Amino acid sequence: MLSFRTMRRLIAAATFVSFASAQSPPPGFTYQTLVDGPLNSATAMAFAPDGRLFITERTTGNIRVFANGALQAAPWATIAVAGGGTWAEQGLLGIAIDPAFLTNRFVYVFYTAPSGTENRIARLQENGGVGSNLTVLSPANALQSQLYHNAGPMVFGYDGTLFVGTGDALGGSNAQNMQTWLGKILRFNVPNLTVPSNNPFPGSAIYSLGHRNQFGLTIHPVTGKLYQTENGGALMDELNLIQAGGNYGWPNYEGLENPPNPSFIDPLASYQPTTAPTGTCFYRGDHYPLAYKHAWFFTDYNMNRLRMLTLNAAGTTVTSQIVFDTLPGSGYGLVSGPDGNLWYLTNDQGGFGADELGRYVHANEPMPSAQISSVSNKSLGASITVCVHAPNGTIAVPWLSTSQFASPLPTPFGNLWVQGDAMLSAVVVTQDQRNYLGLTLPNAPTFLGSSIYLQAVVVDAMSTLRLTNPSQLVIRG
């Protein structure tokens, strides 16, 4: 039996095929194809603090790594899964990198066991550059699996707790049943999936309920609030701000409650005809125009589009939304990368899962440039990533400070913004015009809420020195 999402996708393809258009992002943006073909049904991705991108292949169970401008030939790990077929929603579905990865080397995954009847949350550990020691963390049979509605998105909050989205396993009543993890967003402490003491339902991993079939979770860069993309049934798809203990209505409601019901939470946005929103993220970089700072992006599976929304300061109201671009195919994973660009997975061949990895760059990004970020959201006592973008063969020396000059100090090499309080190791940019440094921050609560500033100097093959832009990261934890 085809899922509602698949049937809607086929109908949409038949309806809109004659109107399909080439990619056309806003002026100044360029789409770069990084991988096209070697990926097999890729559905999710997450950056490690050292700049490697980990990508899940749904049907093969492979975790692939994109590093130094190329997809590595050998999988980082392979997990035995039930993939379910071309259009199924089973297999290796979710991935999250531990905020303390540089210390513990832990990676978390959500997958369908080979039996096809059970989904699992598990942990791998990197040893010698590959993933090993697969450890199942979820209780046996806690997450029953069906061909569709399994979910699998995973994201870390600023406090280092892990959020995991689950589907209703084709049983709408599961979403309202507090005795099952199905149709919920779950919240755990890591590394062993224990229940946080401040979860909304004491002793329970359940964080929110009333979900049908969710494909994306993301954390707001400023507020730390959790947001989600939700596929409805035949009526409405939703974008939700997730509240602790909130009930999002399925199967009683899709979209806005009519009449309003205070027992359920309305979506921030809903879509009819349905769009099948999938991957989602907030833009966290420094290299796009100011209008895109902290904008909310999601992939529109049915119509092959990438959409962008802006929210009010509190993050509680959508103030505007546009179609950012028409994709080469259906979209899946979407992430704001440590190089200051949007990265996403797409597929022009059909089925559930991508064969292509791409990113958007903007003409306004200075060359050379610098970016500081926290790819797993938590930074205090965890990791941060420094990225320098410069021509291949360039030597770069970045530095950090807890302050930035109020106005730039002009130099023959460019404007100096950040004093060199902590000089980092010199690096050579060799591939993809980017070099990444992963750093671990001490767990010093006095730094919580303060900022780290980054700048770098680069020396090219002609011994020309140039200063990058400054970049800022607020320490969360």
Query: Tell me, what's the pLDDT at 81?
Result: 98
Query: Tell me, what's the pLDDT at 234?
Result: 80
Residue 382 near residue 376, CB atoms below 8 Å: yes
Between 93-107, 212-226, 248-262, the lowest mean confidence (pLDDT) is in 248-262
Query: Tell me, what's the pLDDT at 348?
Result: 80
What gap in Å lies between CA 448 and CA 68, rounded to an integer? 32
| CATH code, residues 369-474 | 2.20.130.20
Domain boundaries, the chain: 4-362, 369-474
What is the token pair recorded at 220? 């707001």
Query: Tell me, what's the pLDDT at 355?
Result: 95
pLDDT tier, 258 (very low <50, low <70, confident <90, very high otherwise): confident
What gap in Å lies between CA 56 and CA 54, rounded to an integer? 7
What predicted TM-score, i.e. pTM, was given to this entire model? 0.95
Query: Tell me, what's the pLDDT at 10?
Result: 42
Query: Tell me, what's the pLDDT at 16?
Result: 32
Please state, rounded to an integer, the average pLDDT across all residues of the chain.
94
Query: Tell me, what's the pLDDT at 329?
Result: 83
Residue 337 near residue 382, CB atoms below 8 Å: no
What gap in Å lies between CA 13 and CA 383, rounded to an integer? 42
pLDDT tens string 333-379: 999 999 999 999 999 877 899 999 999 999 999 999 999 999 999 99
Between 139-153, 174-188, 247-261, the lowest mean confidence (pLDDT) is in 247-261
pLDDT tier, 20 (very low <50, low <70, confident <90, very high otherwise): very low
pLDDT tens string 298-322: 999 998 999 999 999 999 999 999 9
What gap in Å lies between CA 424 and CA 207, rounded to an integer? 40
pLDDT tier, 1 (very low <50, low <70, confident <90, very high otherwise): very low
Between 12-21, 98-107, 174-183, 422-431, the lowest mean confidence (pLDDT) is in 12-21
What gap in Å lies between CA 74 and CA 64, rounded to an integer? 7
pLDDT tier, 3 (very low <50, low <70, confident <90, very high otherwise): very low
> Is the pLDDT confidence value at 14 over 80?
no
Residue 440 near residue 102, CB atoms below 8 Å: yes
pLDDT tens string 441-452: 999 999 999 999
Query: Tell me, what's the pLDDT at 15?
Result: 32
End-to-end CA distance of the chain: 44
pLDDT tier, 384 (very low <50, low <70, confident <90, very high otherwise): very high
Query: Tell me, what's the pLDDT at 2?
Result: 41
> Is the pLDDT confidence value at 137 over 90?
yes
What is the token pair recorded at 356? 């292509």
Structure-model confidence comparison of residues 155 and 330, the more confident one = 155
Query: Tell me, what's the pLDDT at 17?
Result: 33
| Record: fold of 4-362 | Neuraminidase (2.120.10)
Query: Tell me, what's the pLDDT at 5?
Result: 47
Query: Tell me, what's the pLDDT at 23?
Result: 87
Rg (CA), the chain: 22
Sign of CA dihedral 355, 356, 357, 360: negative
Percent of the chain residues past pLDDT 90, beyond the cut: 89
pLDDT tens string 385-422: 999 999 999 999 999 999 999 999 999 999 999 999 99
What is the amino acid identity at position 122?
Answer: A
